[in-house]
Structure 1
Amino acid sequence: METDILIFLCLAAFSAGFVDAIVGGGGLIQTPVALILLPNYSVATIIGSLKIPAFSGTGFAAFQYLKKVQMNWKLLLLMAVVAFASAFAGSELLTLVSNDFMKPLLLVVLTLLAMYTFMKKNFGQHQEKLLSVKQQMIYAVLISITVGFYDGFIGPGTGSFFVVAFVSVLGFDFLHASANAKMVNLATNFGSICLFLLKGKIIWAIALPMAVCNALGGFLGAKLAIKKGNGFIRIFFLIVVVGTLLRFAYDIFC
């Protein structure tokens, strides 16, 4: 592995960890960089290797949130178990098929999401307790299955999708959504890691240095999000969603 390539990958990992800790979507930074810099490896091998830094960054961010933000542990345990299994299944499918057909669909979803968040000024600013416990559990399982499978199969943007689901479906504010999303995202990353370990798809010489940088970014990003609160996270969320939107549009039309 050439030193300059590893340096670029580590810089991307730090940026990804920082962004992901605040509002998710860090994979949209490090995944394209890795795909460009490592053209001789299969997509499954690259995605598998990136799950290690993703897990470390999410873990450090989650630890920061745990010290400051209240978690819904009963809900999180259910979501984590389901998300783990879904991500494992998604990663299994990734080793077998191409995933390019998902990009047009994601382009539409992200466009609608950006418009909704921009127009609805109070989106994610306050917690809304509108669901019964049973309804919340049902929606939580559906979210975990859908987003978990997506994370195992494609990955980039998973953290943002979890945040959106926690805010728009489960009624969390942005700060609590970001905190709880990190815990579920840990489960999806771990599910994928287990599959890729079994398949021998992880390049440790790349994964471990990137993991250190991603963890540092996650640590700093989480501290900033906790300090700044919901208003800051909402703005950062819009920036990440628009950036994601432009990235997918470029992949599809260029």
Structure 2
Amino acid sequence: MFDWMLLSVAAFFAGFVDAIVGGGGLVQVPALFSMLPGTAPATLLGTNKFASIWGTAVAARNYMQKVSVRWGMLVPAALTAFAFSFFGAYLVTHIPPTQLRKALPFILAAVAVYTFMKKEFGTQDKPLFSGSKEVWLAMLVAAGIGFYDGFFGPGTGSFFMFLFVRFFGYDFLRASVVAKVLNVACNAAALSWFGFSGHVLWLLGGLMAVCQIAGSVLGSQMAIRHGAGFVRKVFLVVVVALICKTTYDGFLR
């Protein structure tokens, strides 16, 4: 019971962080592996997906009440993210992501440096594309990051946000909405695989989902209240934390 209480607290903070910029897995996944060391890793990952998909979905709904969404672009991108995330999850059962694990800290470092150096990066919403060009580019991004999410995963939401700010001209607030919806699609793909194969602790996942939702409501409200500049600052903090975590996983563990 004490372990479940700690996991509930971790899920709340994961939902809070994830609702703002993504990266809730930094909190929730290590907590699951620490509290339940005797449980199969696939089951812990499946339970994490089940809890996090609810928090992410609620955060997306809260954002969409305040920030307009281009559904003509987002629906095809979400379907693409689902398909490629499922394919990535299948492929990782045959090919371990060893080299990607070692390259990830350097990719994240480049993202952090670029965001830090560009002081106005993501603070203004000036979409660069429209129509079919935006749809196809969004599907390309969704395919690449969706596959990455299924195959490996850390920082998926942050990568979505960065790419939609950098290449689509969105501010961090609008990019956060897009990232949440695409993240839900990716999580749904992985969860369908884990659930079908019996790798979800449904009762624990349900408890953590409730706490995730509470954290995501608070996080999304803060992001909407304080705007893109606040989201940009939290984004930098989370990316630096991801660099530390992936460096440890890839080179020190």
Q: Which runs of 4+ in 1 moved over 4 A?
A: none
Question: Where does residue 61 of structure 1 map in the other structure?
Answer: 59
SS class of match (2:104): helix
Contact 2:15 2:213 in 1 (8 A): yes
Matched, 1:145 2:143: yes
Contact 1:175 1:230 in 2 (8 A): yes
SS class of match (2:65): helix
For 1:104 and 1:25, the matched residues in 2 are separated by 18
Question: Where does residue 227 of structure 1 map in the other structure?
Answer: 225
Percent identity among equivalent residues?
Answer: 43
Query: Where do 1:121-140 residues align within 5 Å?
Result: 121-140=119-138
Unaligned runs of 5+ in 2: none
Matched, 1:24 2:53: no
Tell me how far 1:135 sits from its aligned partner. Answer: 3.0
What is the aligned counterpart of 2:10 among 9, 12, 17? 12
What amino acid does structure 2 have at the position aligned with 1:80? A
Contact 2:9 2:211 in 1 (8 A): yes
Question: Where does residue 48 of structure 1 map in the other structure?
Answer: 46
Contact 1:175 1:229 in 2 (8 A): yes
Contact 1:44 1:94 in 2 (8 A): no
For 2:134 and 2:77, the matched residues in 1 are separated by 11
SS class of match (2:168): coil
* RMSD, aligned α-carbons: 1.5
Tell me how far 1:96 sits from its aligned partner. Answer: 4.3
For 1:211 and 1:76, the matched residues in 2 are separated by 25
Contact 2:122 2:232 in 1 (8 A): yes
What amino acid does structure 1 have at the position aligned with 2:182? V
For 1:15 and 1:116, the matched residues in 2 are separated by 27
Scaled by the length of structure 1, the TM-score of the pair is 0.94
Query: 1:221-250: per-residue Cα shift (whole Å, max 9, x none)?
Result: 000000000110110100000111111112
For 1:41 and 1:109, the matched residues in 2 are separated by 31
What amino acid does structure 2 have at the position aligned with 1:191? A
Question: Where does residue 211 of structure 1 map in the other structure?
Answer: 209
What amino acid does structure 2 have at the position aligned with 1:66? M
What is the aligned counterpart of 2:72 among 62, 71, 74? 74
Scaled by the length of structure 2, the TM-score of the pair is 0.94
Contact 1:51 1:192 in 2 (8 A): yes
For 1:9 and 1:123, the matched residues in 2 are separated by 35
1:33–1:7: structure 2 CA closer, same or farther, 3 Å change rule? Answer: same
For 2:153 and 2:250, the matched residues in 1 are separated by 17
1:185–1:206: structure 2 CA closer, same or farther, 3 Å change rule? Answer: same
Number of aligned residue pairs: 252
For 1:157 and 1:42, the matched residues in 2 are separated by 23
Matched, 1:200 2:237: no
For 2:131 and 2:81, the matched residues in 1 are separated by 19
Query: 1:67-115: per-residue Cα shift (whole Å, max 9, x none)?
Result: 1110010111011111111111222234445334322111011000110
Tell me how far 1:13 sits from its aligned partner. Answer: 1.0
Query: 1:123-150: per-residue Cα shift (whole Å, max 9, x none)?
Result: 1011233335333222211111111122
For 2:202 and 2:95, the matched residues in 1 are separated by 24
SS class of match (1:71): coil
1:97–1:4: structure 2 CA closer, same or farther, 3 Å change rule? Answer: farther
Unaligned runs of 5+ in 1: none
